[in-house]
Homo-oligomer: A and B are copies of this chain.
């Protein structure tokens, strides 16, 4: 069984061999605090577990995808920007106590990467980096089939690598991170700044990343330029990642991913300028295949691996 804990919605699913059998959704209502949410999660898990038992396949464990910084050894959510007030929440232990299931907790972008590696765009490959372009920029890194987390737990945090010294302020507190350019928040922020400077555009200052993409597709110059900046930032981060790891596959997912064609040319141009030690053309950059399902598929697989289940 797999659970994807989002800032707005929670998804719960029974997963079998890369397919979602049953699925349930509930509103996160993070503002009510961890205790209230844990109660509702436990009830939903109970209901789905009962359904699975009735069908003759009782769940052996629960994989949980959570945003934020995870201490995976202890199953604790250290801090999560999309879950206000959550700090050092022992999510795995609490969920396990409430449901009677073994629980394995991991960062949602890491499990997204694992889902795509096992059942999506990364199938049959050796290494993969996943970038989820959404409210922020999540990242997951898999080398030789193993999820890279590191002793500090930050493995795969591509969104918080430097692309522009002294550049835009990122939610993490640093300046010039990839996330400040290639996330929905970054794009909308760059739009507001440009409009405030009097740049002409059909875009409204209160628009979202989707409306910005629509404007770019019908030829709005400013909108096109902003996706170009996002693409250039992606090119810098991917070139660094390839130099660090030698990997040859990057998967683009998340809510902003449909706008990837608007960023691709600038990304490739920057990679060609930056990456001279290997052929930048040998690095594949492809859309995610499993999309929203990826973190659930990854969570189920992670629980099987981490808990040594069936």
Contact = CB atoms under 8 A, between A and B. Distances in A.
Interface stretch (A57-65, A143-151, A180-188): A143-151
Give the oligomeric copy count. 2
Interface string A224-255: 00000000000010011111111110000000
A115 B212 CA distance: 51
A232 to B, nearest CB: 9
Contact of A151 (B146, B160, B248): B248
Contact of A155 (B157, B158, B160, B246): B246
Interface residues of A, number: 49
A127 B151 contact: yes
A246 B149 contact: yes
Given A146-B144, A150-B143, A277 B244 contact: no
Interface in A136-181: 141, 143-144, 146, 148-158, 160-165, 170, 172-175
Say whether chain A's binding surface is mostly helix, strand, loop, or mixed: loop
Interface stretch (A47-55, A268-276, A293-301): A268-276
A92 to B, nearest CB: 19
A244 B282 CA distance: 20
Given A152-B282, A240-B240, A244-B245, A162 B277 contact: no
Interface in A110-154: 126-127, 141, 143-144, 146, 148-154
A94 to B, nearest CB: 24
A154 B276 contact: no
Contacts of A241: 244
A245 B156 CA distance: 6
Contacts of A279: 152
A185 B51 CA distance: 67
6 contacts: A150-B242, A162-B240, A164-B165, A172-B277, A174-B273, A244-B245
